[in-house]
Amino acid sequence: MAAEVARELRASFAAGRTRPVEWRAAQLRALVKMIEEKEGDISAALHADLAKPHMESYLHEISLAKASCTFALKGMKSWTKPEKVPAAITTFPSTAQIVSEPLGVVLVISAWNYPFCKSMIHCSIDPVIGAIAAGNAVVLKPSEIAPATSSLFAKLLPEYVDNSCIKVVEGGVEETTALLEQKWDKIFYTGSGTVARVVMAAAAKHLTPVALELGGKCPVIVDSNVDLHVAIKRIAVGKWGCNNGQACIAPDYIITTKAFAPELVDSLKRVIERFYGEDPLQSADLSRIVNSKHFNRLTSLVEDKKVADKIVYGGQTDEKQLKIAPTVLLDVPLDTALMTAEIFGPYLPIITVEKIEESIDFINSKTKPLAAYLFTKNKKLQDDFVANVPAGGMLVNDVALHLANPHLPFGGVGESGMGSYHGKFSFDCFSHKKAVLIRGFGGEATARYPPYTTEKQKILRGLINGSFIALILALLGFPREKR
């Protein structure tokens, strides 16, 4: 089945169907139409999979997906135009340009045996948008962990887009393994580090380049020099207003000073109650945990007494509904699972340090995160943070927003991934930048060729160093040699 899909797409691509800009624009417009006409169905599927509140679906998925399509539609004309670049004196006269061409047939895998990221539809659709805009044929393998959304994709996409070039393949480990055995021109994978290694190893067999959008523990440093109430609201919505913490860029843990922690915890309690009421498990604005496997994974993180003892707010769970309330912990021992693995859930541990500057070393002692956040008005701390914390992306005084800016590349580094996308970066992700040099026969530098006399070597040196005089000499036919 996977082999057939790959074969059909390769034939479509070889036939040139995906190359014309009009075709690409038509597919993107069809996607916009699909999102607009089926908004209700999409929201319903997200609600079925995650109990995702309608507002979240709209904010994070539907509107972002539409915005991505529109952005690509607007940008495509200039993105597909060759870029002229200066040629060198060495090759005078010549013209040089960089032409973007599609890689060919690409595979987009949305999070395998690991929950999808914050914007599930967005995470799946955005790379597909980039691949189409760049002129590729695409296979999308949506996450089987979100079955309603996955089957919605499988049903809807063929109704709107060119099915001979854009396909959805549903399934779990087996189907994904079959897909990974085929030869693709690029694989874009969103999910966990463990599976990413499998994907990259499979890609290595075919020398297929990969883009890996992985996770990590996204830290939030909160300094005392802030507008605390606003900061806490932003952190709270970034944590629990994003699939209830099941998002790759959701804040994973907070670092603050020992002195400031009590005030911070207090503010958190007030804000959580404001947002979700006294019994968050009853709030319609809180997503549930994606499935019982992850529910159990999360609850086991706080089973250990030395962790459970650190809960300062929340902790309620409802196994039947797969819901966990926003939970705050203070000073959890650093060697526990909660503090070593990516949480991907509604637990928010707070780590305390003596001086706020120590938080930078703390973050750097862990693997590079997908996103790092800092709340402070202190400019020096901001500069220090930007210069010394390697991360996929960073935000100062807010959380997660950079995801929505199509002018910023979105992607990880180190354990949090490789390659970036969003906006034009998606287009670039699925393009090959082909260097094209056009020379004439005007400037023939005989100095290039053997036999290599000393005279020739002198002129050659000059030419390589961009010497105008050497160029003139070469153009005039020096050194003269017998024919």
Residues with active-site annotation: 213, 248
Using rule CB under 8 A, residue 397 touches other proteins: yes
Give the Cβ contact number of residue 467 at 10 Å: 16
Nearer to other proteins, 341 or 401 (CB): 401
Contact string (CB under 8 A) for other proteins, positions 172-201, x = contact: -------------x-------x--xx--xx
Please state the φ and ψ torsions of residue 167, each to the nearest 5 degrees.
Answer: -130, 155
Element (H, E) at 302: none
Instruction: Write down the least CB distance from residue 88 to other proteins, Å.
Output: 5
Q: Which of 293, 300, 444, 472 binds other proteins (CB under 8 A)?
A: 444
Q: Report the amino acid identity of residue 418.
A: M
Q: Which of 334, 436, 469, 472 binds other proteins (CB under 8 A)?
A: 436
Using rule CB under 8 A, residue 433 touches other proteins: yes
Instruction: Write down the least CB distance from residue 304 to other proteins, Å.
Output: 29
Q: Give the angle subtended at the CA of 439 by the CAs of 435 and 444, to the nearest 5°.
A: 135
Using rule CB under 8 A, residue 390 touches other proteins: yes
Q: Report the amino acid identity of residue 56.
A: E
Euclidean distance between CA atoms 318 and 212, whole angstroms: 34
Contact string (CB under 8 A) for other proteins, positions 246-275, x = contact: -----------------------------x
Q: Which of 464, 469, 472, 477 binds other proteins (CB under 8 A)?
A: 464
Residue 313 and residue 348 in contact, taking contact as beta carbons nearer than 8 Å: no
65-124: which residues touch other proteins (CB under 8 A)?
67, 85-88, 90-91, 94, 96, 98-99, 101, 103-104
- Collapsing DSSP to helix, strand or coil, 86 comes out as coil
Using rule CB under 8 A, residue 3 touches other proteins: no
Q: How many Cα atoms within 13 Å fall on the side-chain side of residue 331? A: 9
Nearer to other proteins, 334 or 437 (CB): 437
Tokens 């790759």 appear where?
248
Q: Give the torsion sign (CA, 321, 326, 120, 175).
A: negative
- Collapsing DSSP to helix, strand or coil, 439 comes out as strand
Nearer to other proteins, 299 or 382 (CB): 382
Instruction: Write down the least CB distance from residue 435 to other proteins, Å.
Output: 4
What is the distance, to the nearest Å, from the Cα of residue 480 to the centroid of all Cα atoms in its chain?
58
Nearer to other proteins, 349 or 409 (CB): 409
Instruction: Write down the least CB distance from residue 472 to other proteins, Å.
Output: 18
Q: Which of 11, 281, 408, 475 binds other proteins (CB under 8 A)?
A: 408
Q: Which of 222, 348, 350, 413 binds other proteins (CB under 8 A)?
A: 413
Instruction: Write down the least CB distance from residue 204 to other proteins, Å.
Output: 4
Using rule CB under 8 A, residue 313 touches other proteins: no
Give the Cβ contact number of residue 254 at 10 Å: 27
134-173: which residues touch other proteins (CB under 8 A)?
none
Euclidean distance between CA atoms 455 and 119, whole angstroms: 65
Straight-line distance from the first to the last Cα atom of the chain, in angstroms, rounded to the nearest whole number: 64
Which range binds other proteins by CB under 8 A, 27-35, 126-134, 217-225, 444-452?
444-452
34-63: which residues touch other proteins (CB under 8 A)?
53-56, 58-59, 63
Using rule CB under 8 A, residue 224 touches other proteins: no
Q: Which residues of 111-134 are buried (b: 16+ CB within 10 A; e: fewer)?
A: bbebbbbbbbbbbbbbbbbbbbbb
Residue 188 and residue 108 in contact, taking contact as beta carbons nearer than 8 Å: yes
Euclidean distance between CA atoms 325 and 282, whole angstroms: 9
Nearer to other proteins, 187 or 302 (CB): 187
Total of residues contacting other proteins (CB under 8 A): 102
Euclidean distance between CA atoms 60 and 247, whole angstroms: 11
Q: Which of 158, 449, 469, 472 binds other proteins (CB under 8 A)?
A: 449
Nearer to other proteins, 150 or 287 (CB): 287
DSSP classification of residue 67: H
Using rule CB under 8 A, residue 378 touches other proteins: no
273-302: which residues touch other proteins (CB under 8 A)?
275-277, 283, 285-286
Strands 317-318 and 186-190: unpaired
Give the Cβ contact number of residue 263 at 10 Å: 14
Tokens 């901001």 appear where?
382
Q: Which of 334, 401, 469, 472 binds other proteins (CB under 8 A)?
A: 401
DSSP tally for the chain: helices H, then strands E: 19, 18
Using rule CB under 8 A, residue 212 touches other proteins: yes
Which range binds other proteins by CB under 8 A, 172-180, 247-255, 305-313, 391-399?
391-399
Instruction: Write down the least CB distance from residue 150 to other proteins, Å.
Output: 25
